[in-house]
Amino acid sequence: MKKKILVTESSMPPLDDYIEMLQQLWDSHWLTNMGTLHSELENKLKEYLKVEGISLMVNGHMSLEMALSALKLPNGGEVITTPFTFISTTHAIVRSGLKPIFCDIKMSDFTIDEEKIEALITENTVAILPVHVYGNICAVERIEEIADKYNIKVIYDAAHAFGVTYKGKGIGTFGNASIFSFHATKVFHTIEGGAVTFNNPELYQTLYNLKNFGIRSEEVVAEVGANAKLNEFCAAMGLCNLRYVEDEIAKRKRVTERYRELLSEVKGIRILKPKPEVTSNYAYFPVLIDETAYGRLRDEVYDILKENGIYSRKYFYPLTSDQACFRNKYQTVPLNHARYVSDRILVLPLYADLSLEDVAEIANLMKEIGNVR
């Protein structure tokens, strides 16, 4: 039976490393509630991500809900965001009692079009929630100018951008807050997990209360909170993986460069260009398929790859604004670029241990099936 090449595969530390870390838990019996490993991971990630403050969470989605809550955005307020994202981004806005206002994206990097944001600002606008897509960063400086002009908050969804820097600064330092996902499929993972990063030190205690039922002491619950804590087993996995993350990124870079070498001249396949002054984490390898030039629709390519044991992903399709739970509820402006990209995007397999031989197999198949009817 032909082996399957999945779109992603979780990176794992040496088993002995993890077992050694777990021994501490068997010795202490402290399994959750901000234990020693939680604190150690928080400190090490603060340094690695080059951020002033960080609060670990149970996952990336709850990180975003906690960040929105911590910034005390008024109920019913409008949040300008992108429809070209994972559904979690929009869910978090709506579940927080806020209204998503969808803005179109740029064709250059598929992030929110910063020059279309101002036209969407109303007296009800309370925040902008851009997404660093595939690790491609948004126009953070221009977005900051707009937010300052209108005195509104900025929360970045940086789920794809772990370890990315811009002009030497950690990507989590921009805006009022940024959120990261440490899901098992990410560049860095804690099995499940996430974090909120921020510059205002007062947010640390606010986030601590929000993720821990609002408990301040044994007898005092000071505010309404949730249960969004990262447990010690996940923290242990994070500490192990953090030791090897630079090697993992280097391996992903090698895979990415091989894809670029093999596919860059294929007619009808567009590959995003690296951005200047940005250090990439090589999180994903998306290609945009022009069916006229390539000779196949994106969905045809997806099916043929799958028939050959290669599992790609239509990431992100449909747009969140077009999903059944949101369709016709919030969209007010044309989303022509976002819809064009969503109908043509295909994310090819990429993970640290993907062999260059497998990359060549995928690329050769992409060449074979293109320009044929």
- Distance, in Å, from the CA atom of 174 to the CA atom of 149, rounded to the nearest integer, reads 16
Residue 236 has what pLDDT? 98
Q: Is residue 159 part of a domain?
A: yes
Domain-located, residue 153: yes
d(CA 64, CA 201): 18
User: Same domain, yes or no, for 195 and 213?
Assistant: yes
Other beta carbons within 10 angstroms of residue 350's beta carbon come to 21
Q: Helix 298-307 vs helix 356-369: angle between axes, to the nearest 10 degrees?
A: 130
Same domain, 213 and 257: no
Q: Is residue 10 part of a domain?
A: no
How far apart CA 53 and CA 177 sit, in angstroms, is: 9
Do 254 and 128 share a structural domain? no
For residue 331, what are the domain limits?
244-369
> Under a CB-based contact definition with an 8 Å cutoff, are residues 352 and 11 in contact?
yes
The reply to whether 147 falls in a domain is yes
Please check whether residue 230 lies inside any domain of the structure: yes
pTM, 2 dp: 0.97
Which pLDDT score is estimated for 328? Answer: 86
**Counting Cβ atoms within 10 Å, is residue 254 exposed (0-12), middle (13-18) or buried (19+)?**
middle
Backbone Cα Rg of the chain: 21
User: Crossing angle of helices 202-211/60-70, nearest 10°?
Assistant: 120
Residue 218 sits in the same domain as residue 322:
no
47/150 same-domain check: yes
pLDDT of residue 248: 98
Nearest-angstrom CA–CA distance, 227 and 251: 36
CATH code, domain carrying 178: 3.40.640.10
Which among 280, 338, 255 has a CA at the least distance from the CA of 5? 255
For residue 6, tell me if it sits in a domain. no
Which amino acid appears at position 193 of this protein?
Answer: G
pLDDT of residue 331: 78
Report pLDDT for 372.
53
Two structure tokens written together for 261? 């070498």
- Which of the listed residues 209, 240, 271 is the one where a domain comes to its end? 240
Q: Is the domain of 27 the same as that of 141?
A: yes
Which pair of structure tokens corresponds to residue 324? 């059944």
Residue 3's pLDDT is 83
Do 259 and 230 lie in a common domain? no
d(CA 63, CA 207): 9
Q: Could you give the CA distance from residue 229 to residue 371 in angstroms, rounded to a whole number? A: 51
Q: Are residues 227 and 338 in the same domain?
A: no
9 lies in some domain = no
In a domain, 339, yes or no: yes
Residues 270 and 358 in one domain: yes
Same domain for 308 and 330: yes
Q: What are phi and psi of 289, to 5 degrees?
A: -105, 115
Strands 125-129 and 78-81: parallel
Residue count of the chain = 373
**Considering 240, 256, 275, which residue would you say is the last residue of a domain?**
240
Q: Which of 225, 240, 255 is the last residue of a domain?
A: 240
Helix axes 87-95, 60-70, angle to 10 degrees: 40
Q: Are residues 346 and 267 in the same domain?
A: yes
CB-CB neighbours of 221 under 10 Å: 13
List the pLDDT tens digit at each of the 373 positions of the chain. 468 999 999 999 999 999 999 999 999 999 999 999 999 999 999 999 999 999 999 999 999 999 999 999 999 999 999 999 999 999 999 999 999 999 999 999 999 999 999 999 999 999 999 999 999 999 999 999 999 999 999 999 999 999 999 999 999 999 999 999 999 999 999 999 999 999 999 999 999 999 999 998 899 999 999 999 999 999 999 999 999 999 999 999 999 999 999 999 999 999 999 999 999 999 999 999 999 999 999 999 999 999 999 999 999 999 999 999 998 899 779 999 999 999 999 999 999 999 999 999 999 999 999 865 4
Say if residue 75 is in the same domain as residue 162.
Answer: yes
Domain count, the chain: 2
CATH of the domain at 314: 3.90.1150.10
